């Protein structure tokens, strides 16, 4: 049986370097990517070929991304569109979402986030078009623990109550949030997400509530925040434990009063938004330590929903593995399977990174496979694990490598922090990483 062709995506971006980067990232994920440098070229490509998704910048020479969106939807109403926007043009991107775009991404976009949104958009298309091949990531599982969470999500979706999604990293909390939105009365309205841990504290309120022109240095025009962008729909606040303490009281006010002001503004804006929050940390412990407001915790935790870790749903391991194998085989045109020794490695591993770790493991296995079978030795030799029995052994290859890497990272971060006198934003810039990545490294490496 011939494998289905890779899913076609059109990338519209006038900057050559960014267009080529996105093309390479998506091709590496197994997609069939067609680039276009202008709206006019995009229109030609849309008439030549059927695309499942269009990824377009808003600011293009000549006709803009809004025109690309309208033309793509006119030619094929099923096509999903994701728009790219610079920091100062979010108001325009909100208009695009309200006109039918699946989501918008603020530049610069991290590669992993780009791929995640593309997959989610394609998953949305598959729900309305059963003929579309699966693209993942998906909510897959029949175990009691997983079904309990899914049943809770279905019931909770029918209300407007705030939901606090709790669970370890990689369990699929954002997938549950999108599931809740799609099954709610707000499904036809925008789903807007914000990773609270990815922003410097000074930008958090502007990103959430928007700001007026001239309200602070660099505010060269009015900006619409995520609450306005999600009007009538759902706002998903990921890593909610990372919200700066001084901003938590303002979020609490919005949840209580259903209104807010832009930064530097005096106009009161009504909020008609359903808030879903997620955390992989124990918020109650953060409350005890004074790092999270108790009143905000209770306001967010109206309906608690825990997404179980993979180790608590062993019955789901096999269908998840098969789902991901099918997906990556389809993308690569291969027919890779796991032999009994590979299954033994997978079943023995503890999967601390949960479903996300499993997905990445199988993606790597399919990409690196030289034949139709992946063996346990293939997984071990690729340094995915240090041992089989009980998961990774303390002296395994991965563990030794990780210890050396963490030591080097800790030394370098401390050195740069000392140079910039503790300024984390400047340290992140010098280290060439995002502010969120630096904060996570500081936390994970125990740097005071």
> Quick one: CATH architecture of 406-444?
Orthogonal Bundle (1.10)
Q: What is residue 135's predicted lDDT score, i.e. its pLDDT?
A: 36
Which residue in 200, 202, 222, 199 sits closest to 212, CA to CA?
Answer: 222
Q: What is residue 421's predicted lDDT score, i.e. its pLDDT?
A: 79
Q: Which CATH number fits domain 315-381: 1.10.8.60, 1.10.15.40, 1.10.3470.10, 3.10.20.30?
A: 1.10.8.60
User: Rounded CA gap, 121 and 102, in Å?
Assistant: 6
**Topology of the domain comprising 144-308:** Rossmann fold (3.40.50)
- CATH number for the domain running over 8-128: 3.40.50.2300
Q: What is residue 210's predicted lDDT score, i.e. its pLDDT?
A: 85
What the block records as the tokens of 71 is 């033309």
Contact 171, 310 (CB under 8 A): yes
Q: What is residue 397's predicted lDDT score, i.e. its pLDDT?
A: 34
Contact 326, 359 (CB under 8 A): no
Per-10-residue mean pLDDT for the chain, 448 residues long?
A: 73 94 92 94 89 92 88 85 74 71 83 86 60 50 92 94 95 92 88 83 83 79 83 92 91 92 87 94 92 95 96 93 87 86 85 88 85 82 43 41 60 84 82 82 77
108 prior amide bond cis, ω within 30:
yes
The reply to whether the predicted model has a pTM over 0.85 is no
Find the radius of gyration of the CA atoms of the chain: 22
Per DSSP bridges, beta strands 191-195 and 210-211 are unpaired
Q: What is residue 2's predicted lDDT score, i.e. its pLDDT?
A: 45
Whole-angstrom CA distances from 68 to 11, 49, 50, 74, 239 are: 11, 15, 14, 10, 33
Q: What is the length of the chain? A: 448
**How big is the CA angle at 377 (ends 384 and 334), to the nearest 5 degrees?**
85
Whole-angstrom CA distances from 125 to 42, 76, 175, 248, 275 are: 20, 12, 15, 36, 24
CB within 8 A of 134, min separation 6: which ones? 123, 126, 323, 326, 327, 330
How many Cα neighbours within 13 Å face the side chain of 334? 23
Q: What residue segments make up the domains of the chain, in order of their start?
A: 8-128, 144-308, 315-381, 406-444
Count CB neighbours of 448 within 10 A: 4
Q: What is residue 381's predicted lDDT score, i.e. its pLDDT?
A: 61
User: Rounded CA gap, 448 and 443, in Å?
Assistant: 8
Matching CATH topology for 8-128 and 406-444?
Answer: no
């Amino acid at each position: 049986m011939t494998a289905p062709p890779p899913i076609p995506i059109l990338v519209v971006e006038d900057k050559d370097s960014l267009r080529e980067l996105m093309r390479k990232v998506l091709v590496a994920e197994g997609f069939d990517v067609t680039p276009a440098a202008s709206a006019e070229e995009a229109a030609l490509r849309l008439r030549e070929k059927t695309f499942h998704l269009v990824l377009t910048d808003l600011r293009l020479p000549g006709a803009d991304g809004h025109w690309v969106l309208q033309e793509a939807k006119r030619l094929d109403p099923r096509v999903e569109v994701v728009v790219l926007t610079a920091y100062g043009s979010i108001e325009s991107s909100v208009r695009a979402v309200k006109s039918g775009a699946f989501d918008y991404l603020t530049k610069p976009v991290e590669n992993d986030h780009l791929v995640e949104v593309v997959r989610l958009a394609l998953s949305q298309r598959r729900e309305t078009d059963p003929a579309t091949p699966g693209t993942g990531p998906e909510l897959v599982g029949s175990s009691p623990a997983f079904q309990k969470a899914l049943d809770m999500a279905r019931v909770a979706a029918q209300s407007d109550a705030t939901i606090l999604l709790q669970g370890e990293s990689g369990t699929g909390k954002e997938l549950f949030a999108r599931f809740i939105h799609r099954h709610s009365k707000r499904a036809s309205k925008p789903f807007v997400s914000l990773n609270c841990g990815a922003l410097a504290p000074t930008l958090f309120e502007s990103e959430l509530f928007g700001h007026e022109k001239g309200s602070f240095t660099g505010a060269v025009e009015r900006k619409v925040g995520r609450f306005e962008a999600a009007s009538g729909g759902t706002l998903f606040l990921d890593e909610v434990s990372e919200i700066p303490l001084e901003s938590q009281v303002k979020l609490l006010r919005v949840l209580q009063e259903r209104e807010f002001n832009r930064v530097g503004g005096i106009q009161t804006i009504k909020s008609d938004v359903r808030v879903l929050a997620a955390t992989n940390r124990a918020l109650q412990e953060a409350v005890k330590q004074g790092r999270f407001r108790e009143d905000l915790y209770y306001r967010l935790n109206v309906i608690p929903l825990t997404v179980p870790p993979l180790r608590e749903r062993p019955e789901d391991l096999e269908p998840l593995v098969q789902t991901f194998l099918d997906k990556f085989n389809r993308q690569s045109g291969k027919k890779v399977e796991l032999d009994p020794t590979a299954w033994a490695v997978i079943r023995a591993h503890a999967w601390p990174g949960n479903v996300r770790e499993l997905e990445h493991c199988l993606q790597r296995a399919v990409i690196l496979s030289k034949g139709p079978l992946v063996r346990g030795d293939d997984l071990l030799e690729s340094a995915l694990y240090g041992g089989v029995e009980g998961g990774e052994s303390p002296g395994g290859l991965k563990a030794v490598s990780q210890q050396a890497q963490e030591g080097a990272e800790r030394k370098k971060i401390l050195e740069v922090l000392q140079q910039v006198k503790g300024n984390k934003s400047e340290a992140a810039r010098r280290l060439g990483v995002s502010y969120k990545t630096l904060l996570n490294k500081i936390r994970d490496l125990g740097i005071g």
